[in-house]
Amino acid sequence: MDLTEEMVTLALGSGADVVAVTDAAPFPEAKATLRSHKKSGLSGPLRFTFDHPDEATDVRASFPWAKTLMVLGHDYLGAATAPAEQGALVGRFATSDHYRPLRAAAGAVTATLRKRHYRADVLVDDNRLADRLPAIRSGLGWQGRSTMVLVPGHGPWLLLGTVVTDAPLTPSTPSDRSCGTCTACLPACPTGAISKEGLDARRCLSTWLQTAGSMPLWIRPLVGRRIYGCDECLVACPPGFPRLREEEQESATLSFPELLAASDEELVDRFSHWYIPRRQGRYLRRNALVAAGNSREASAWEQVEAHLGHRSSLIRGHAVWALARSGAPGAVVTLDSMLQTETAPEVRDEIETALLMLEDPGRYRELLIDDEQSRTGTRSAPGRVSEPVAQGHHGLGVDLTHPRLGDS
């Protein structure tokens, strides 16, 4: 067999489920898209590829010797756990380190190429190349309206990686498939982040769950029980239905009391394969508090209230919101009492907002709508903001705004 066929066979035998090859030429249309989204604000709080579009869309900026790109995809659905009826929710791609088989396959190809005296390197979840670009140009899959790469037989349930090399690999045949008239992912998005024009990262739940700082008021109710990732557009994607039907996934409950009782260090260690802003566990704690409040699970009330005295004003503020949202008895009295002693202005603002949620829901809803308008420039469809959501999760002007690990 020739070199290309040999490397494809090796990758498929080492952990990859699909493989394709393309050249290492730049992606100028994608660079224009990145710049346009950043200028218009659609990139929201996302950084990485948006801050370095020249690098992310031209692998030769980092590897001047690059000639070809081997794109590998790993279908993680069979190894992922399904959403549980209670407790915190995690996107299936992050239920464990599902990148491991992908890294193993890419590593095996790279090691073999180097033994043949070619230069080769692995790019998996790496800012030096937007991995969806070569996946689409190689014909591995096509860009869905959700901005995910959709692959025949797998739909959106793939993690992507790339081997960059100077080996003379033969490019695969490009695909001409598309979503056609299908718009199933648009209404499935809890926040209306997906449109026919692309994805507005200012509205994407996955983005905000990976972003530092205070979570926007308007989006908190729509987070539901999620603490990392969102699968809604993936679950709604018809090309992925066969894989969902094939896998009888077991669920695993991730309890809010357990999460909130853990130290920041324990949270970072337990979820070390996640992108955690600044590697600070308080951001996972923030997510857990918002999700616990939305869940209204009585088992979480004690831990939520315990966080009202947390040393971090960020955590105290989100605990305040979570307590009001949770339906815990006596919340008004507790928050009134806290307002008498709290000195941090941002926490006092959270308390006053939480009391508004409990005592004047109409004015609170108006506050959420105004917050959404000021942050996104638009308003949700009637009934979307403040309503709890049902739970079930990138030519080439390809849209790169949908986050996976590392995009925030």
Domain residue ranges of the chain, discontinuous segments joined by +: 1-408
User: How far apart (Å, rounded) are the C-alpha atoms in residues 157 and 92?
Assistant: 9
Q: How confident is the model at residue 388 (pLDDT cuts 50, 70, 90)?
A: very low
Write out pLDDT tens, residues 205-241.
999 999 999 999 999 999 999 999 999 999 999 999 9
Please, is 382 exposed, middle or buried when counting C-beta atoms within 10 Å of its C-beta (0-12, 13-18, 19+)? exposed
Give the Cβ contact number of residue 68 at 10 Å.
Answer: 23
Predicted TM-score of the model (pTM): 0.91
Short-list 240, 252, 267, CA closest to 76: 240
Write out pLDDT tens, residues 165-215.
999 999 999 989 999 999 999 999 999 999 887 889 999 999 999 999 999
SS3 state of residue 132:
helix
Q: How confident is the model at residue 406 (pLDDT cuts 50, 70, 90)?
A: very low
Confidence (pLDDT) at 79: 94
Confidence (pLDDT) at 384: 58
Confidence (pLDDT) at 48: 67
Cα–Cα distances in angstroms (integers) from residue 344 to residues 140, 209, 339, 348, in the given order: 52, 24, 10, 6
Evaluate whether 53 touches 34 at the Cβ level (below 8 Å): yes
The residues, any chain, with a CB within 8 Å of residue 269's CB and separated by 6 or more, are none
User: How far apart (Å, rounded) are the C-alpha atoms in residues 301 and 329?
Assistant: 9
Give the Cβ contact number of residue 41 at 10 Å.
Answer: 13
Give me Rg for the CA atoms of the chain.
22
Q: Could you give the percent of the chain with pLDDT greater than 70?
A: 92
Q: How confident is the model at residue 37 (pLDDT cuts 50, 70, 90)?
A: confident
pLDDT at residue 139 greater than cutoff 50 = yes
* Helix count and strand count (H, E) for the chain: 17, 10
pLDDT at residue 15 greater than cutoff 90 = yes
Cα–Cα distances in angstroms (integers) from residue 377 to residues 40, 198, 203, 351, 369, in the given order: 11, 16, 11, 26, 11
Q: Which residues are known to be catalytic?
A: 125
User: How far apart (Å, rounded) are the C-alpha atoms in residues 121 and 64?
Assistant: 12
Beta strands 226-228 and 89-90, pairing class: parallel
